[in-house]
Amino acid sequence: MREDLVFALYLFNAQAATSELIALARRNADPGIRKEAIFWLGQKASAAAVKALGDVIDSPEDLEIKKQAVFALSQLPEDIGTPKLLDIARRNPHPRLRKEAIFWLGQSDDPRALDLFTEILTR
């Protein structure tokens, strides 16, 4: 039922609902609820949602939660998500997160992803 409530917050277009999703993604004791909130934040594409996803990735959070945030970034419109994924692929200190970002970039048709792959392969 709690996961249904997280989904309901996503459907509600008020800023307060997005703020509540962000709070759930950052602080809920249940990792499953945090992952659900992160997933739905990735569908919002608001500036606050994008910042919250970046904060999760930069936090000392569990790796699985961070991977969910990388996936959520991949669900954003390319003009919003791709630059964030490129930054993770190039600069994130955690190799698993870089790998996740590279995987999701490979699923896109964005030419910037091909530029990154060329850059990596010619190093």
pLDDT in tens, the chain (123 residues): 677 778 777 777 777 788 888 888 888 888 898 998 888 888 877 788 889 899 999 988 789 999 999 999 999 888 889 999 999 999 999 999 999 999 999 998 889 999 999 988 888
The CATH superfamily label for domain 2-121 reads Leucine-rich Repeat Variant (1.25.10.10)
Q: Greatest CA separation found in the chain? A: 49
Q: Is-contact 53 80, C-beta < 8 A?
A: no
Q: Is-contact 52 84, C-beta < 8 A?
A: no
Structure tokens at 103: 């995987």
Domain ranges for the chain, please list them.
Answer: 2-121
